[in-house]
Amino acid sequence: MKKLLAVVILLMLASVSSVADDEQTEPVNWSEKLACEMGVKFATEHVSHGCKSCGKAVLPHLGLGYKILENVRLSVSVDTIAALKENYSRIEPCLGILYIVKDLFAIDAGYTHYFYTSASGDGQKHSNEIYCGIGADVFLSPSLYTFYDFNNEDFSLQVKVVHEIDLRESLMRGLGVEISGEVGYETAKKCNGKCIEGEKRNFFFYGAGVDLAYTIHDRAKAKIGVAWKGNSAEVHTWVNGAHKDFIWMRASVECSF
């Protein structure tokens, strides 16, 4: 696992360095072009698209962004999920590109490769996914994303909104409450890389969350909160806790520089 992480990080650094302009005569101002973000989250359950992956888990995150044009940024990141009590973990290296339109809309697209370093007997070791989305810097910060997993022929659509309430005047500086909600739809022909015999993986998922957020300074934030998600799936072998609602606690710290 350590060797795999080292290879992924080296590939990320190579991808970032390859976009430098060879014909540029002036020194590159790295403080303006290059950005790094990192963080770690703890959750009592990990739920994605309304379906549970595992119980208590730690989720580290590391990302690098490089501004290749004034409104275009290339990013590479690695997310990890490590279950604390179950035999489940995965590594998610991702390559993405972000385009800002008039400081109002953001168009986001990329590719994610999932390495399942251990799983609960499902046998799947990896999968490949592409995504594309658009977000708006307006009230509720709405976003619309689509995902497609080639290994499972899995298509999903997700709509999400987020609203932050500033509490610095009523309580203390840097304190706020983040409220989020989402709804989506998923359909697939396979599960864990295998055909789903006699079963249909078509369902809606939905969820909401409330987090108490504290901005330590402009580049660091801590959160703690509670989330709820569910799905409309019937009882199938491919979904952990199908047709069930999940409620869990979460806490995170993130920073950028």
183/18: higher pLDDT: 183
- Residue 201: is its pLDDT beyond 60? yes
Q: What integer pLDDT is reported at residue 245 of this predicted model?
A: 80
Using pLDDT thresholds of 50, 70 and 90, give the confidence band for residue 251: very high
Averaged pLDDT score across all residues of the chain: 83
Q: What are phi and psi of 8, to 5 degrees?
A: -60, -45
- What is the C-alpha separation between 226 and 248, in angstroms, rounded? 6
- pLDDT tens track for 68-122: 998 999 999 999 999 998 888 899 999 999 999 988 999 999 999 999 887 644 5
Task: Give the pLDDT confidence of 4-25 residue by residue, as tens digits.
Answer: 444 444 444 444 444 434 444 4
Indicate the pTM of the whole model.
Answer: 0.80
- Residue 185: its pLDDT value, please? 95
Residue 82 lies in a domain: yes
Q: Considering its fold, how many domains does the chain have in total?
A: 1
Distance between CA atoms of residues 32 and 29, nearest Å: 6
Q: Is residue 207 in a domain? A: yes
Q: pLDDT, tens digit, for every residue of 119-178? A: 644 567 889 999 999 999 999 999 999 999 998 889 999 999 999 999 877 777 889 999
Q: 146 is written with which tokens?
A: 């689509």
Percent of the chain with pLDDT over 70: 77
Burial zone of 193 (CB within 10 Å; 0-12 exposed, 13-18 middle, 19+ buried): middle
Cα–chain center distance at 250: 15
Given this model, what pLDDT does residue 195 score?
Answer: 59
235 has pLDDT over 80: no
pLDDT number for residue 254: 95
In a domain, 23, yes or no: no
- The predicted structure's pLDDT at residue 203: 86
Q: Is 55 a member of any domain?
A: yes
* Vertex 66 angle, CA 98 and 10, to 5°: 115
Note whether residue 26 is domain-resident.
no
68-106: string of b/e by CB count within 10 Å (b at 16+)? eeeeebbbbbbbbbbbeeeebbbbbbbbbebebeeeeeb
Instruction: Answer whether residue 55 shows pLDDT above 80.
Output: yes
The CATH number of the domain holding residue 40 is 2.40.160.40
168 occurs within a structural domain? yes
For residue 50, the model assigns a pLDDT of 79
pLDDT at 239 over 70: no
Q: What is the pLDDT of residue 24?
A: 46
Per-residue model confidence (pLDDT) at position 48: 85
**Band of residue 52 on the pLDDT scale cut at 50, 70, 90:** confident
**Lookup: tokens for 228:** 């709820």
For residue 195, tell me if it sits in a domain: yes
Domain residue limits at 174: 2-17+36-256
Identify whether 24 is part of a domain: no
**Quick check: 247 pLDDT over 70?**
yes
Instruction: Give the distance between the most distant pair of CA atoms in the chain.
Output: 63
